[in-house]
């Protein structure tokens, strides 16, 4: 896994995209073969140590009942207010937090229902920026948000990916055209891999997926 490399994982629902990510982090164990992180087999590293190398931003946001500061600082016990603010600025959510009466001490409900879906996503991105992982796993987090918030989320994720290996579970293929490698999955297997242009030229599964999305957008 090379620093700065973006690997996109695409395929229809049920193709195995999330399973592949779970294998990376050893939520599932391998039946055969091996996954190496910086030349070391993932099975040779304790699970907790392995998972400390990963940061995740998923479609289903996870925030808990507590202050905004506590939610962003989760996973970094020694985080200072200055570090949390810096991460929130990089995630384009600091200004929003400053508009709240209690600022960073605003208490979120258990399901964080007192803030919007877009703000939830930006807070989880701020948490990942603060955690500063070696490897990122991103499940496109821009569903059910307005266009302006989507732009904030995309900019924050682009900032986060700089200089890091990133695995992006892609639903809208237009967002991963620049990925270093695209893995196309069907029925639990990688059936094609390459960059955007290479896969379009193959005129196979990826080309069908991409063209069908493009036609839907165009019409």
Does pLDDT of 74 surpass 60? yes
Alpha-carbon distance of 219 to 210, in angstroms, equals 14
Contact indicator for 19, 28 with CB cutoff of 8 Å = yes
Question: Are 36 and 109 in the same domain?
Answer: no
Does pLDDT of 143 surpass 70? no
Last residue of some domain: 100, 132, 164?
132
Residue range 127-136, pLDDT digits in tens: 999 998 889 9
* Residue 52, SS3 per DSSP: coil
In 45-109, alpha helices (H): 47-51, 68-73, 81-90, 94-99
Question: Are 189 and 214 in the same domain?
Answer: yes
Last residue of some domain: 132, 153, 188?
132
Count structural domains, the chain: 2
Number of Cβ within a 10 Å radius of residue 184: 24
Contact indicator for 156, 96 with CB cutoff of 8 Å = no
Range of the domain at 115: 61-132
Question: Are 158 and 108 in the same domain?
Answer: no
Looking from the CA of 10 toward its CB, the CA atoms found within 13 Å total 29
pLDDT of 1 reads 52
Residue range 34-68, pLDDT digits in tens: 888 878 899 999 998 998 888 888 877 888 999 99
Does pLDDT of 83 surpass 90? yes
* Residue 113, SS3 per DSSP: coil
Question: Are 163 and 87 in the same domain?
Answer: no
Question: Are 40 and 90 in the same domain?
Answer: no
Question: Are 114 and 188 in the same domain?
Answer: no
* pLDDT above 90: percentage of residues in the chain: 39
Alpha-carbon distance of 67 to 215, in angstroms, equals 44
Q: How confident is the model at residue 149 (pLDDT cuts 50, 70, 90)?
A: confident
Whole-number average pLDDT of the chain: 87
Alpha-carbon distance of 134 to 123, in angstroms, equals 19
Edge-to-edge strands of the sheet including 165-169?
A: 54-57, 135-139, 165-169, 6-10, 181-186, 189-194
Question: Are 118 and 168 in the same domain?
Answer: no
Which pTM was predicted?
Answer: 0.82
Question: Are 65 and 46 in the same domain?
Answer: no
**Backbone φ, ψ for residue 63 (5° rounding):** -130, 155
Q: How confident is the model at residue 22 (pLDDT cuts 50, 70, 90)?
A: confident
Average confidence (pLDDT) over 20-46: 87
Question: Are 79 and 186 in the same domain?
Answer: no
First to last CA, the chain: 39
Q: Select, from the ranges 16-20, 63-67, 83-87, 91-95, the one with the highest average predicted confidence (pLDDT).
A: 83-87
Contact indicator for 184, 193 with CB cutoff of 8 Å = yes
Average confidence (pLDDT) over 79-99: 95
Question: Are 24 and 128 in the same domain?
Answer: no
Residue in the block written with tokens 């991963």: 176
Q: What is the CATH number of the domain that holds 67?
A: 3.40.50.300
């Amino acid at each position: 896994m090379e620093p700065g490399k973006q690997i996109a994982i695409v395929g229809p629902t049920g193709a195995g995209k999330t399973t592949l990510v779970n294998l990376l982090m050893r939520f599932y164990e391998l039946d055969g073969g091996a996954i190496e992180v910086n030349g070391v087999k993932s099975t040779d590293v304790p699970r907790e140590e392995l998972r400390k190398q990963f940061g995740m931003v998923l479609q289903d946001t996870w925030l808990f009942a507590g202050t905004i500061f506590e939610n962003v600082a989760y996973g970094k016990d020694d985080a200072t207010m200055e570090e949390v603010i810096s991460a929130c600025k990089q995630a384009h959510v600091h200004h929003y937090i400053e508009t709240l009466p209690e600022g960073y001490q605003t208490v979120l409900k258990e399901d964080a229902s007192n803030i919007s879906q877009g703000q939830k996503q930006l807070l989880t991105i701020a948490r990942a920026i603060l955690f500063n992982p070696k490897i990122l796993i991103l499940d496109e987090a821009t569903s059910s948000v307005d266009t302006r918030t989507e732009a904030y989320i995309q900019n924050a994720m682009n900032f986060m990916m700089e200089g890091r290996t990133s695995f992006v579970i892609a639903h809208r293929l237009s967002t991963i055209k620049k990925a270093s490698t695209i893995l196309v999955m069907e029925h639990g297997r990688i059936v094609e891999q390459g960059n955007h242009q290479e896969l379009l030229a193959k005129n196979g599964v990826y080309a069908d997926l991409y063209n069908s999305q493009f036609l839907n957008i165009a019409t």
